[in-house]
Amino acid sequence: MATLEPIAQPGKLIVFTGPSGVGKGTLLRRLLQLHPVLYLSISATTRQPRPHEIHGQHYYFVSRETFEQMIERSELLEWAEFAGNYYGTPRDPVVEAVEQGRWVILEIELAGARQIRDTFPLAQQIFVLPPSIEELETRIRRRAQDSESAIARRMARARVEIDAADEFDFQIVNDDLDQAISQLETALFVEMPAPAEMPIKTSLELSAEPGD
Ligand SMILES: Nc1ncnc2c1ncn2[C@@H]1O[C@H](COP(=O)(O)OP(=O)(O)OP(=O)(O)O)[C@@H](O)[C@H]1O
Ligand SMILES: Nc1nc2c(ncn2[C@@H]2O[C@H](COP(=O)(O)O)[C@@H](O)[C@H]2O)c(=O)[nH]1
C-alpha cells in the first residue's frame, strides 16, 4: 500500500482575538492539547506576572524600557497598549515557524489584529465572543486576577472590541466550551485545512499502484 505524505506548503498565521476574559487562553490550551501541530506565539508584555505565570512560557515579562527598545529595533510584528500595559509579538520566532510550514497562532487584542491585517492580509482572523456582556464580567471577576480599576478598563475595552467582531473572518461564541472548540476546529481545519490533515500520495507512488 502506498504511504501518505503531507503536502509541503507554507505555514499560516492565525489571529485569535476577543475581549479579555472571554476564554481565549482556555480555548487555546485545549486546542493545542488536541492539535500539537499548532504553534502558539509567546508575547512580550510589561504587565506584572500573575501568580501562576512563567516567564518565557506564558509571556516574556519585560520592563517598559526594554519593550520600547524592542519597538525601536523593529523586533515586534505588532504591538499595542492595553489597559495600561504594552503587549507585542516578537517577530523572529513567528516568521521562522511560518517559514517552516507551521500554523502559528497569535492571541492578541484588536489593535494588534488590525496591524496584522495590514501587514499579513492572508492571515486568518478569528474573533471569540462571550454569550453576554454580563457573563464576560462574571468570568473576569471569577478569574480574580484584576483590580476594580483594571476590570473597569478591560470591560470598557471589551465593548469596543465586540463592536469590531464583524471585521473578522470567523466569529465563535464561547458559551459551551466543547461546542466552541468544535467550531474552532471547523474554522481551522475545514474552512482552511491544515497541511498535516491533507495527506497526498507522491506521483511515483500513484503510478506504482496496481490497476492504474
Ligand atoms: N466556556 C466557558 N464557560 C465558563 N467559563 C469559561 C469558559 N471559557 C473560559 N472560562 C473561564 O473564564 C475565565 C477567563 O478565561 P481566560 O483567562 O481563558 O480568558 P482570556 O480571553 O484568555 O483572557 P485574557 O485575554 O485577559 O488573557 C477563566 O476563569 C476561565 O476558566
Ligand atoms: N496586541 C497584542 N495583544 C496581546 C498580545 N498578547 C496578549 N495580548 C492581549 O492583551 C490582552 C490582555 O491580556 P492579559 O494576559 O493581560 O489578560 C488580551 O486581549 C490579550 O489577547 C500581543 O502580543 N499583542
Q: What 3 state SS string does the chain have?
A: CCCCEECCCCCEEEEEECCCCCCHHHHHHHHHHHCCCEEECCCEECCCCCCCCCECCCEEECCHHHHHHHHHCCCEEEEEEECCEEEEEEHHHHHHHHHCCCEEEEECCHHHHHHHHHHCCCCEEEEEECCCHHHHHHHHHHHCCCCHHHHHHHHHHHHHHHHCHHHCCEEEECCCHHHHHHHHHHHHHHHCCCHHHCEECCHHHHHCCCCC
- Any ligand 2 atom below 6 A from CB of 46: no
- Any ligand 2 atom below 6 A from CB of 114: no
Query: Which atom belonging to ligand 1 lies closest to the Cα atom of 154?
Result: 26
pLDDT score of 193: 56
Residue 29 has pLDDT above 60, yes or no: yes
The verdict on whether residue 201 carries a ligand-binding annotation is no
Residue 210 has pLDDT above 80, yes or no: no
pLDDT digits (tens, 9 = 90+) for 190-201: 886 544 433 333
pLDDT score of 19: 96
CB atoms within 10 A of CB 59: 18
The residue that leads in pLDDT, 192 or 32, is 32
- Any ligand 2 atom below 6 A from CB of 88: yes
- Any ligand 1 atom below 6 A from CB of 28: no
Is 0.95 exceeded by the ipTM? yes
- Any ligand 1 atom below 6 A from CB of 183: no
The verdict on whether residue 23 carries a ligand-binding annotation is yes
Half-sphere CA count of 49, side-chain side, radius 13 A: 13
Q: How far is the CA of 52 from the centre of ligand 1 (A)?
A: 15
Specify the pTM. Answer: 0.88
